[in-house]
Structure 1
Amino acid sequence: MDRRRRRFLRTGLAAGVASLAGCTTFERHEATGSPSGSETPDTEMRSDSESGADDTGTEPRIPTPRETGGPRPELDDAAVALEPVASGLAAPLDFFAPAGTDRRFVVDRDGRIWEVTDDGRRSSPFLDLTERIVLGGERGLLGTAPHPDFADNGRLYVRYSAPARSGTPSGYSHTAVLAEFTVDPDADVAADAEERTLLEVPQPQSNHNAGAVAFGPDGHLYVAFGDGGGANDVGTGHVDDWYDAVEGGNGQDVTENLLGSVLRIDVDGRSGVDGDGEEPYAIPDDNPLVGREGRDEQYAWGFRNPWRFSFHGRDCYVADVGQNAWEELNLLEPGGNYGWNVREGAHCFRAETCPTATPAGEPFVDPVAEYPHDGDDVSGISIIGGVVVESEAVPGLGGAYLFADYVAQGRLFAVDPGAEPPWTIRTVPVVGDADLGRFVLGFGRDPNGDVYVLTTDGSDGEGNAGRVARLVAP
């Protein structure tokens, strides 16, 4: 077998693309429902018309801290308190606030999307998908993004785990589904929601599903997929690799499946003549593999389990869960290869030496920040991606990228995106009467700039131990 065949970008690919800027054992994670880090215990874009256009003169955007030089956070003595917003959830892991509305929603892994107010969540879910999903391991309702024109068209884009559908090989865990739901944007309950399937991706195992979806400042939908699950990126459903020292896998494949990647699609278009082709979405012309070898949906790859990502301006922060040793934070680049399963973070994986580029000469992209599993202060087992703090609601944190580890331990993490990478990670203690709980699953941000943290005390995606809280000054 030619180990260099097909799966790698040919030398010179990047020159034509403009830049936008762990589990110990499979069985253990199957039982816990964590985002598959290691040693689990038991476990949007708002546009700003005043900020101008991008290089093409067409995209409204927010200048990033790296572009403007500010605001710069003061992280040395930063701390936060929590203001409870909603409780009685199972495992809340995503949050969205559609542009043009004053509504806020939380996505629960058990299959329900709830509207939340300052008085808590409403008595009935806005959208109930419990009959369409399969739970267990890391499966369930995994992410939702409102269309930028949701207030007018009522379109929601949803990632969920479905029972195996036609085309999913026998013995696989489930089918990952990306679907478009059209709802009444003003309704209290989306009783007549219409579903249109955009994408089905067979999933060999129940873990490493990622699930984040978000619209970028270019108006396209970005969708994250893990490497197919299990451990080491090997086994059923994982392709062979080119690196003799390490077996596997899907992280380095760009032709045979869509796993281990962040995709970018045009949900407002249709493939085919005059936009009426069979494909339910179109491919942006400037996706890095268009006209080259590989799947056109692919935007970046070499990921293990990109659990959450978020945009701020043109920067997209991707949190990729590690395996046994390192958790990593990345800035998304078109055509970027982030190294899995040759590297975990910026370190060799399962080998004493490892390459820094593919056989075709394309370099791996280094993380902008990482932390170990065995550190003293900044450590953990599964990185939970967060958001850039846009407001001064929490003194000292304006301009910081705020995130967490799955095992909360009463603290969050923050970095200064205005600094030169690699960024130093600081701990941000959570103080006051309201505690963080056992596990952090996600973050959210509303149009006012308020930041929310999504937590649970349970570990199976069910029950009522999940909570939503707003971050406030101590």
Structure 2
Amino acid sequence: MGLGRGLELARGEERGDLQALGLDRRPAAFLPVDDGQRPDHGRACLPHRLDRAQGRLAGGDYVFQHSDLHPRFQTALDLAAPADGTGRLLVADQVGVIWVVTSAGAVLPTPLLDLRASIDTLNPAYDERGLLGLALHPSFNSNGKLYVFHTTPPSEDAPPGSATEVRVAEYRISATDPNRVDPATERVILRIAKPQANHNGGQLAFGPDGFLYIALGDGGGAGDVGFGHTADLGNAQDLTNLLGKILRIDVNSGTPYSVPRSNPLVDRGGGARAEIYAYGFRNPWRFSFDTPPGAAARLFAADVGQALMEEVNLVEIGGNYGWNRKEGTLCFDPQNMLVPPDVCLDEMPDGSVLRPPILAYRHVEGGVAFGSAVVGGFVYRGSTVTALSKRYVFGDYGVSALVPTGRLFAATEAGDGTWSFAELAVADSATGRMTGFLLGFGRDAAGELYVLSRTQTGPTGTTGAVDRIVPAP
């Protein structure tokens, strides 16, 4: 999935209200190497498992600190934290509700925003639609503006055969209640009809430049081909189409928005959409900005693969990240999705070079199932878990898309710019993994990280959990 193809996270065996997390003694590390057999690929991130604890993080075990919140949620997918001193968390549930969690861990009985009457009717067995993303305006403390990404049934003006419509909308906090949105303030920013119900993307985030970034999947289905997909090119490579892209817009000017003049396609012509910041994505399921002190900000984006490989990209303005010509570091043939071609182009006819991921892993490693759908996270800049400092924390929905076996990883950048990652193992779990589906990550105002999960395969029941990562006692 973005919800992609199902994500999972495991809860492990509980020790009271805590689960210990340790580091796998045999971490999976993926190091850039010279393939040697595919000259067209040059240097690619090819998976190699290390038999030693090379790159193992120091600092002991980790735990999930289980709150008493998860009975309140069906499918918590996103989390925002106002930097207003209240310690509140705003939790977006896929079913269409944003809940307020107080600093004491209580969930207020009345939601901040309730969109259940507006979103699609969700399939309780599995669905990628619903309320998918939440972002607070950089001036939220003064203007009370927040932005949501959700799906709705297709509008009357949608192309015939559309399966759903993604919508980005702005709301304002009520003037009389800081824990409620005034629904009358809704301002629709963007509407995009989609041919299929999956691959919606859903991430919203404001960059350090003050602009709103929006992740959109390729339109759904499989392979970026078929009904609703640009013939011989795919939506993700079609610059006249917003699907399969990361967009950048200015919500502070224009009606309903304006496009920053520095966007890469502003003067491209030929129908290219000026909103596009980067392209070539299948289903980007979670991106985040890292803004280290005294250094340039960087944008990390995880992109869910089709059948064989998952990837994480460092996204740069105007970059082409390969889909549907590449799946991770592999060549991709949409007509034969399980057999990568031996040779494929690293440059498109328009002159764009396909950017390789910084991290990639196969669904099956050495004949053993490894993962099913990558889940993007954050570079850790908090103070509680020092061993994770400056490491990119991300994960995978689960070894199986049907059995809750989510995985957590911590990636490290070497001095030469190459990356490797190690698995964070659940110490009290027989498998070393969590016992739920990993859906996403959240970050609070102090930079501490939260894990969002559920044990059901779809948006039903009350197994949705929000857990904070803290050091083991």
1:253 to 238, 246, 254: 238
| Alpha-carbon displacement from aligned partner over 1:360-379 (angstroms, at most 9, x marks no partner) | 33211110101110026893
Match of 2:397 among 365, 383, 406: 406
CA contact (8 A) 2:132 2:150 kept: yes
Which digits, 9 at most, give the CA deviation of each residue in 1:205-259, with x for residues without a partner? Answer: 0100010000000000000000000001011110022xxxxxx41110111x200
2:174 and 2:321 mapped to 1: Cα distance?
40
Match for residue 164 of structure 1?
154
TM-score normalised to the size of structure 1?
A: 0.79
Give 1:444's match in structure 2, choosing from 442, 445, 458. 442
How many Å apart are 1:167 and its aligned residue?
2.4
In structure 1, what is the equivalent of residue 62 of structure 2?
80
- Within the candidate set 261, 264, 277, 1:299 is matched to 277
Correspondences of 1:324-343 after superposition (within 5 Å): 324-343=307-326
Q: How many residues align?
A: 396
Indicate yes or no: 2:125 matched with 1:123.
no
Matching residue within 455, 467, 474 for 2:465: 467
- 2:251 is aligned to 267
Are 2:379 and 1:388 equivalent residues in the alignment?
Answer: yes
Quick one: structure 1 residues 238 and 74, their matched pair in 2 at CA, closer, same or farther if it must change by over 3 Å? same
Question: Bigger shift: 190-199 or 290-299?
Answer: 190-199
User: C-alpha displacement at 1:192, in angstroms?
Assistant: 4.3
Query: Is 2:354 the partner of 1:360?
Result: no
- Pick closer, same or farther for the CA change 1:446–1:148 going to 2, 3 Å: same
| Other-structure match for 2:303 | 320
Q: Which amino acid aligns with 2:5?
A: S
Q: Which residue is 1:114 aligned to?
A: 99
* 1:444 partner SS: strand
**Corresponding residue for 1:425?**
421
Matched AA of 2:278: A
The Cα of 1:436 is off from its aligned counterpart by: 3.9
Q: Letter of the aligned partner of 1:98 in structure 2? A: P
- 1:36 equivalent to 2:5? Answer yes
More deviation, 431-440/382-391: 431-440
In structure 1, the gaps of 5 or more residues are 1-21, 23-32, 41-72, 242-247, 271-278
**1:76–1:426 CA contact under 8 A, matched in 2:** no
Query: Which residue identity is paired with 1:464?
Result: T
For the pair 1:373 / 2:363, whether they are aligned, the reply is yes
Give the letter for the 2:455 counterpart: D
The answer for the alignment partner of 1:212 in structure 2 is 203
CA distance in 2, matches of 1:192, 1:154: 13
Provide the alpha-carbon RMSD of the alignment. Answer: 2.4
Unaligned runs of 5+ in 2: 10-54, 292-296, 334-340, 399-403
Per the alignment, in what secondary structure is the counterpart of residue 388 of structure 2? Answer: coil
Letter in 1 for 2:99: W
Residues 1:281 and 2:248 are matched in the alignment: no
- Cα distance in 2 for partners of 1:391, 1:431 equals 22
Aligned residue in 2 for 1:232: 223
Query: 1:388, CA displacement in angstroms?
Result: 1.1
How far did residue 416 of structure 1 move?
Answer: 1.2
The one-letter code of the counterpart of 1:387 is: F
Counterpart of 2:89 in structure 1 is 104
What letter matches 2:92 in structure 1? V
**1:433-465: CA deviation from partner (whole Å, max 9, x where unpaired):** 998432011111111121110000112222211
Can you list the C-alpha shifts for 1:331-379, whole angstroms capped at 9, x where unaligned?
1111000010000012101233110011133211110101110026893
Distance in 1 separating the partners of 2:130 and 2:457: 13
Q: Answer whether contact 2:149 2:168 (CA < 8 A) is retained.
A: yes
Alignment TM-score, normalising by the size of structure 2? 0.79
Compared CA separation, residues 78 and 209, structure 1 to 2 (3 A): farther
In structure 2, what is the Cα distance between the partners aligned to 1:220 and 1:178?
Answer: 14
Rounded Cα–Cα distance in structure 2 between residues aligned with 1:253 and 1:410: 33
Instruction: Specify the code of the residue in structure 1 equivalent to 2:437.
Output: F
Query: Which of 436-445 and 412-421 deviates more?
Result: 412-421
Contact 1:338 1:365 in 2 (8 A): yes
How far apart in 1 are the matches of 2:118 and 2:64? 34
Distance 1:426 1:287, change over 3 A: same
Spell out, residue by residue over 1:264-303, the C-alpha distance to the aligned partner (whole angstroms, 9 max, x if none). 0000011xxxxxxxx3001001000011131000000000
Q: Helix, strand or coil: the match of 2:300? A: strand
| CA positional deviation for 1:124 | 2.2
Q: Quote the Cα distance in structure 2 between the aligned partners of 1:112 and 1:349.
A: 38
The one-letter amino acid paired with 1:336 is: G
CA distance in 1, matches of 2:3, 2:207: 27
Judging by fraction of residues, say which structure has more strand: 2
